[in-house]
Amino acid sequence: MKYQILGGSFPVAVCDMNPGEAIICQAGGMSWIRGDIRMETKGGGLGKMFGRAISGESMFQNRYAAHSQGQIAFAASVPGEIRAIQVSPGCSVIAQKGSFLASDEGVELSVYLQKKAGAGFFGGEGFVMQKFAGSGTVLVEIDGSAVEYDLAPGEQITIDTGYLVLMDESCKMDIVTVKGLGNKLFGGEGFFNTVVTGPGKVVLQTMPISALAGRISAFIPTGNG
């Protein structure tokens, strides 16, 4: 995939396509097209459709195939960044729900279920995440700015709810409780944190959309007065 990421804090990925190339995106993900690039909508079977639905994506995917030299663009849905992630056999990536923007045809999107119930019921990252496998480039949305860490084997990072956006499948994720009743009740950080253990790369986001929505809602008047 040959692409440019433009637009600063309101990014768009503009992809150049040669005849015969194809790009996959979620339904409604395309922003604009130049050239003879044609769309085909696919479900891929009930199992895959259901998996995409519970992982925060549309049940259907659009395949855009180039019949001439052209461009196709995919804009982010919220202010932030678009990052290109490379996946290959044995090097899969786990991502937050709804982060998928577009990918090469060789990338497979599937649902990823947390193995530990605690991570599912109490972690802000959720019981259901996305897995990108196969071979190729996948474009993902990041809320705010991205911060990356390469964790050594056994090294841990403690993350507040919603700030984890990507991790290598080699990493392990768990949920721990905040220590101390006073810290839980008055610390403002909630009852639980996410702990990711290496080895592998972890990508965090500086402004989860849930946090942004909470800040904005504080300024919205309530009631009829």
| pLDDT tens digits, one per residue of 148-192 | 999 999 999 999 878 999 999 999 988 777 665 444 444 445 567
Domain ranges of the chain: 2-212
pLDDT at 225 over 80: no
**Could you give the C-alpha distances from 200 to 86, 126, 172, 188, 205, in angstroms and in order?**
14, 20, 9, 29, 17
The CATH number of 2-212 is 3.60.160.10
Query: Hunting for tokens 């071979």 — which residue is that?
Result: 135
Measured CA to CA, the distance from residue 147 to residue 53 in angstroms comes to 28
Confidence grade of residue 135 (pLDDT, cut at 50, 70, 90): very high
Say if residue 19 is preceded by a cis peptide, omega within 30 of 0.
no
> Which has more pLDDT, 70 or 182?
70
3-state DSSP helix/strand/coil percent for the chain, to nearest 5? 15, 50, 40
- Model's pTM, two decimal places? 0.81
Measured CA to CA, the distance from residue 59 to residue 120 in angstroms comes to 22
> What 3-state DSSP class applies to 14?
strand
pLDDT at 68 over 50: yes
